[in-house]
A = this chain, B = another copy of it.
């Protein structure tokens, strides 16, 4: 038995998210179906670093699984890509120790959030960037972003559906880059709660729109009330960019 770690990318547009669900098309479902074919009907369970939501994309998602097949690393890449929909690409496969776990061994993750700033809509980006052409106060946003960096209890910035008890996480970096037509947020941290990136970005955009003040952020963090934070931005602008081990 060998444990295989794969780095995968996927276009989330036509998936009901990563995690397998009955009667829905999911990334996990597609990969497990391909693995089942390779293993002649035997079910192979895969484990991912993070479970992305519907419409959310991945450039560097990481999964692992165990297999008795004797394929070389590059043969795993080819065989899986040959069996998978072209919405998913296996970028790399690597043998790892049986103590490796895609989720529990991860030391951190980087997410990116892409915003289309130009006024006119862009048919080519409708699944790939959140169209938000309204004026934004970028210095105020950067000030707000600064308050998130560090170790905090992120209860106010995760979905009410979050089941995890411990909501203390560390955001190591939170950056914003701008081009003429786009704005990209990069956020790197040791772990993220359910909807955490999307609620943080939503709150930063509300600061940028003048709906709230950057200096409210420490108070919102301290009060741990989801209702005090901003709206959850749409999933289609979000990318699980990289997982660190």
Task: Give me the interface of A with B, judged by CB distance under 8 Å.
Answer: 9-11, 57, 81, 86-89, 91, 120-124, 126, 128
Contact = CB atoms under 8 A, between A and B. Distances in A.
Given A9-B123, A10-B123, A11-B126, 10 more contacts: A11-B124, A57-B124, A86-B121, A86-B126, A87-B123, A89-B121, A89-B122, A89-B123, A91-B120, A124-B128
User: What 10 A-B pairs come out closest when comparing CB atoms?
Assistant: A11-B123, A86-B126, A89-B121, A87-B123, A89-B123, A10-B123, A11-B124, A9-B123, A91-B120, A88-B123
A6 to B, nearest CB: 12
Contacts of A89: 120-123
Nearest to A81: B121
20 contacts: A9-B122, A9-B124, A10-B123, A11-B123, A11-B124, A11-B126, A57-B124, A81-B121, A86-B121, A86-B123, A86-B126, A87-B123, A87-B126, A88-B123, A89-B120, A89-B121, A89-B122, A89-B123, A91-B120, A124-B128
How many copies of this chain does the complex contain?
2
Contacts of A81: 121
A57 B126 CA distance: 14
A80 to B, nearest CB: 12
Nearest to A59: B124
Contacts of A57: 124
Contacts of A122: 9, 89
Contacts of A88: 123
Nearest to A123: B11
A44 to B, nearest CB: 22
Contacts of A87: 123, 126
Contacts of A128: 124
Nearest to A90: B120
A185 B126 CA distance: 25
Contacts of A126: 11, 86-87
A20 to B, nearest CB: 19
A81 B126 CA distance: 13
A87 B124 CA distance: 7
Contacts of A123: 9-11, 86-89
